[in-house]
Amino acid sequence: MNADLLQALSAQRIETPSWGYGNSGTRFKTFAAPGAARDIWEKLDDAAEVQRLTGIAPGVALHIPWDEVEDYGELGKYAAQRGLTIGAINPNVFQDEEYKLGSVTNPDEAVRERAIAHLLDCVEVMKKTGSRDLSLWFADGTNYAGQDDLRSRKHRMRAGLKRVHDAMPDGTRMLVEYKLFEPAFYATDLFDWGAAYSHCLAIGEKAQVLVDLGHHAQGVNIEQIVAFLLDEGRLGGFHFNARRYGDDDLIVGTSNPFELFCIYAELVFGANSVDDLTRRTAQNVAYMIDQSHNIEPKVEAMLQSVLNCQEAYAKALLIDRDLLKEAQGQGDVLAAHRVMMDAFKTDVRPLLMELRVEMDLNPEPIQAYRAGGYQAKVTRDRGTQTGGGGYPVKEKVRS
Ligand code: PSV
Ligand code: MN
Ligand code: MN
């Protein structure tokens, strides 16, 4: 394998979410998965298994308070012993009674203050865990026309984000996620990338947009949003997943492999751009998975997700960029398209097996996982826990 390709592929990073390892489901049902992690310690054990087999997924995103612990130093140590690091910190301002009418955009100032206090607490968690990214998603919005004043809600969002932004240490980032739909049915306060982008621009340099693949309308060209935000220096990160209709938790690269490839292609183009800002931005993007598996075995699903990202990236690296440029310059529509398709259609599995051998990994991670007995072991040790709504239940099972 050529040295540049080896270097790029071994440097790839995908962060996995703590919440993807526990029991969670849809608003209709949470199925009890045998051996599903019951607390953050077990989630880290599962993440370590994914990292052990892939070598490119050392970061784990936390969701607070689901993953709250007394001693974050101890948590950091536990992670480090397993070859992991603590990734993005995700505050939760959507599950408490007070947030019925919103969190930072709530018409009641006391509720807004409570939400902001939680976000600021999460900044403290970042300091204790050495996390670089504060990843914000708000369920805020309204269900009926007239329920609240839309511009006032915008102002409240801006003011809340600004306060948190200004409290963040240098070298850290605020990632602002948008979502077209859910759970607000009439108007979601951060409804698209443009809304997130304008808040980021207004509040300061540390704020960047987070693109969650599942949060768009059907047919939206996400790679174009990626290209635009990269060029503006405001693409901060991804939540990878796939969606078919409205939900957003399917394994990335299952229903959307071409989309994932085109997104990685933009990132490869950006990382090789002659423009300084674009290049720096592309090189600092946080790649995260945001999936809560409902019917599939959780660790294997996460493993599959990471591998799908690896395949998409490998294909994107294979695009002949010189040939593409030439065809684009000549206005040769189909030749340009074929350059993309040649890379997309390449079977990169042998190449990735070679890479794993170079990285001292088993060349067949899924087979190795299945043969290794991890699932049987955790099922024995942890049993099958029922319960929980659409989101994980906050439980402490470790003494
Ligand atoms: C809800 O849509 C959501 O999936 C958002 O994407 C968040 O990033 C995630 O939950 C975790 O809070
Ligand atoms: Mn998300
Ligand atoms: Mn989502």
Domain that holds residue 46: 10-382
Digit-coded pLDDT (tens) for 238-285: 999 999 988 778 999 999 999 999 999 999 999 999 999 999 999 999
CA of 89 to the centre of ligand 1 (A): 12
User: Is 132 a member of any domain?
Assistant: yes
User: Is 104 a member of any domain?
Assistant: yes
CA of 188 to the centre of ligand 1 (A): 14
Is 252 in a helix, a strand, or coil? coil
User: Is 391 a member of any domain?
Assistant: no
Residue 177 Cβ contacting ligand 1 at under 6 Å: yes
Residue 137 Cβ contacting ligand 1 at under 6 Å: yes
Do the Cβ atoms of 294 and 19 come closer than 8 Å?
Answer: no
User: Is 389 a member of any domain?
Assistant: no
Mutate to test the pocket of ligand 1, among 137, 209, 238 (most ligand atoms within 8 A of CB): 137
Mutate to test the pocket of ligand 1, among 175, 185, 239, 241 (most ligand atoms within 8 A of CB): 239
Please tell me the predicted confidence (pLDDT) of residue 245: 86
387 pLDDT band, cuts 50/70/90, is: low
As for how many domains the chain has, the answer is 1
CA of 4 to the centre of ligand 1 (A): 35
Residues that place a CB less than 5 A from ion ligand 2: 212, 239, 290
> Which atom of ligand 1 is found nearest the CA of 210?
8
385 pLDDT band, cuts 50/70/90, is: confident
CA of 290 to the centre of ligand 1 (A): 7
CA of 215 to the centre of ligand 3 (A): 6
H-type alpha helices, 130-256: 150-167, 193-203, 222-231
Is 10 in a helix, a strand, or coil? helix
pTM for this predicted structure = 0.96
Q: Taking 70 as the threshold, does the pLDDT of residue 232 lie above it?
A: yes
CA of 59 to the centre of ligand 3 (A): 19
How big is the chain by its Cα radius of gyration, in Å? Answer: 21
Do the Cβ atoms of 150 and 106 come closer than 8 Å?
Answer: no
Q: Taking 50 as the threshold, does the pLDDT of residue 399 lie above it?
A: no
Hey, what's the torsion of the CAs at 296, 175, 90, 250, to 10 degrees?
Answer: -10
Q: What is the mean pLDDT of residues 12-36?
A: 91
Whole-number Å distance between alpha carbons of 265 and 315: 8
Q: Taking 50 as the threshold, does the pLDDT of residue 395 lie above it?
A: no
Residue 67 Cβ contacting ligand 1 at under 6 Å: no
CATH number at 341 reads: 3.20.20.150
User: Is 18 a member of any domain?
Assistant: yes
